[in-house]
Amino acid sequence: MLQSQIKLYYKNVTAEIIGEENGITPEQLKSLSEKTSPLIGKLNEERKAGKTPYRDLPFNKGISQKVKQLVDGLKAGCENLVVLGIGGSALGNIALQTALNPYMYNLDDAQRTGPRLFVFDNIDPAQLASFLDWVGDKLDKTIFNVISKSGRTAETASEFLIVRKLLLDKLGPAGCKEQIVATTDANEGTLRTITDDAGYRCLEVPDGVGGRFSVLSAVGLFSAAMCGIDIDSLLAGASDMDARVSSEDFYKNPAAINAALNYHFYNHGKKISVMMPYSFHLKDLADWYRQLWAESLGKAKDLADNEVHIGPTPIKALGATDQHSQVQLYREGPNDKLFTFLQVDNFDKNLTIGPVPDSAPELQYLAGAELSTLLNNEKKATEYALLADKRPCLTVVFDRVNAYTIGQFIYLYEVTTSFAGALFGINTYDQPAVELGKEATFALMGKAGYEKLAQQIQPLTEVDGDFLV
């Protein structure tokens, strides 16, 4: 096992720190461990039985080899890589890029280790049009990675059809084919059919792996490897975390403890879960987590079909930025939140704060300090202030941010989600509530077979002038 392990620190959720009314007591933690411990074995068994295939991704050498082969063939001629996808087919790609490449990656050739990366996970025409105007004369040096497990997702399909037409118009059928990499289901779905028919290069979304659990498959690995991210270290981090989150000892298993504490606080009035990284690199991991947590745990029914309407609401905040936006509410508003800070002990780059002019002696305390020291002290200060108001705070501590620790974090939170779903007694892996909105879109766009739904929708979507002010 490599050295740098991320850690979960949980003392600041205990009654010892924030009192019995809001914190967890030793007796409650003990009973939580008794409830959660049997689930460790259960999840390990389910994994062995092939019911959670996302857990095998870090060990699947076939996927990373295929990704690397494709990258070897494409990287030299590629100046821009464009990901077309949404939800689980985009959030992991964005999170990896923000976490592991420099802030100025796209703009500064000296900081770039691969093509510029653009991820379109929305269908705002002004946004995409602006990009297409820019990329128009560089299409032959631009690879479009369309990612969709189903292929029928309207947002991704429409972006793809716009890009395909542009490529056909400008480069012709043979040229168009060269610029597309499709990532989709191995055997079925609309994008699979299109891909097979057109002969695009392709990668697979593994069977049984839902979008939000797919970042460690070709879905996330291809754009990462194209952009110079060390995917072997990423997967090594995840596989080393696999050993920790498989431990049958509750107190040594960070996913089991993390899930159990989240479950406990949800049941004790903290229905909102705020993830607050103190690192720009980690900010989009909080977005990735938001989807993972919300789609996996927000469910109407439990496994016994009882109506439960369960699910903690995940919120993303960023330190120190949101201290000046959210912390007033977090301290003085309702005590209904569990906070999870992400803290980085060693930043790869640091800056020293300059000397203070004689006219501003009150800034003298900053002079000569490192910026990372200020950022981390602000994290401690915010946590202290929240604890003063009896708000429970967890921290995930990164020794440093690199592919190995990011791999650990991703896997830790995926398995934490599995534990949380098991504790809530719900199906963690489906998302039935997303369907109705998708179908309503089909109806509103005039898709055949959705005429009746279109009629049902009309009275609710037509604007009633009496209510327009």
Q: Which CB atom, from 437 or from 459, has the smaller least distance to ligand PA5? A: 437
- DSSP annotation of 181 reads E
Kindly state whether residue 183 participates in binding ligand PA5, applying the rule CB under 6 A.
no
Quote the CA–CA distance of 119 and 295 in Å, as a whole number.
Answer: 21
Please tell me whether the peptide bond between 320 and the residue prior to it is cis, using omega within 30 degrees of 0: yes
Kindly state whether residue 211 participates in binding ligand PA5, applying the rule CB under 6 A.
yes
Q: Which CB atom, from 107 or from 433, has the smaller least distance to ligand PA5? A: 433
Q: Which CB atom, from 87 or from 421, has the smaller least distance to ligand PA5? A: 87
Q: In angstroms, what is the minimal distance from the CB of 185 to ligand PA5?
A: 8
Q: Which CB atom, from 91 or from 256, has the smaller least distance to ligand PA5? A: 91
Q: In angstroms, what is the minimal distance from the CB of 436 to ligand PA5?
A: 13
Quote the CA–CA distance of 3 and 74 in Å, as a whole number.
Answer: 33
Angstrom distances, CA of residue 277 to CA of 265, 316, 327, 386, 426: 20, 9, 14, 15, 28
As a whole number of Å, the end-to-end CA separation of the chain is 63
For every residue of 264-301, DSSP letters joined together read HHHHTT--EEEEEESSGGGHHHHHHHHHHHHHHH-EEE
Kindly identify the residues of this chain, within the stretch 116-175, that bind ligand PA5 according to CB under 6 A.
Answer: 148-150, 153, 156
CB neighbours of 419 closer than 8 A, spacing ≥ 6?
A: 36, 39, 40, 43, 255, 256, 258, 259, 260
CA 227 to chain centre: 18
Binding-residue total with ligand PA5 (CB under 6 A): 14
Quote the CA–CA distance of 464 and 60 in Å, as a whole number.
Answer: 55
Can you tell me which of 210, 254, 312, 319 binds ligand PA5, judged by CB under 6 A? 210
Kindly state whether residue 86 participates in binding ligand PA5, applying the rule CB under 6 A.
yes
Task: Name the strand (E) or helix (H) holding 420.
Answer: helix 403-424
Kindly state whether residue 22 participates in binding ligand PA5, applying the rule CB under 6 A.
no
Kindly state whether residue 101 participates in binding ligand PA5, applying the rule CB under 6 A.
no
Nearest CA among 395, 277, 262 for reference residue 337: 262
Give the active site residues: 295, 324, 438
Q: Which stretch binds ligand PA5 (CB under 6 A): 95-103, 107-115, 210-218, 238-246?
A: 210-218
Can you tell me which of 40, 54, 80, 88 binds ligand PA5, judged by CB under 6 A? 88
Kindly identify the residues of this chain, within the stretch 267-326, that bind ligand PA5 according to CB under 6 A.
Answer: 295
Angstrom distances, CA of residue 138 to CA of 18, 79, 166, 381, 463: 58, 8, 12, 48, 43
Can you tell me which of 55, 116, 212, 283 binds ligand PA5, judged by CB under 6 A? 212
Q: Which CB atom, from 211 or from 319, has the smaller least distance to ligand PA5? A: 211
Can you tell me which of 89, 253, 262, 395 binds ligand PA5, judged by CB under 6 A? 89
Q: Which residues bind ligand PA5 (CB under 6 A)?
A: 86-89, 148-150, 153, 156, 210-212, 295, 431
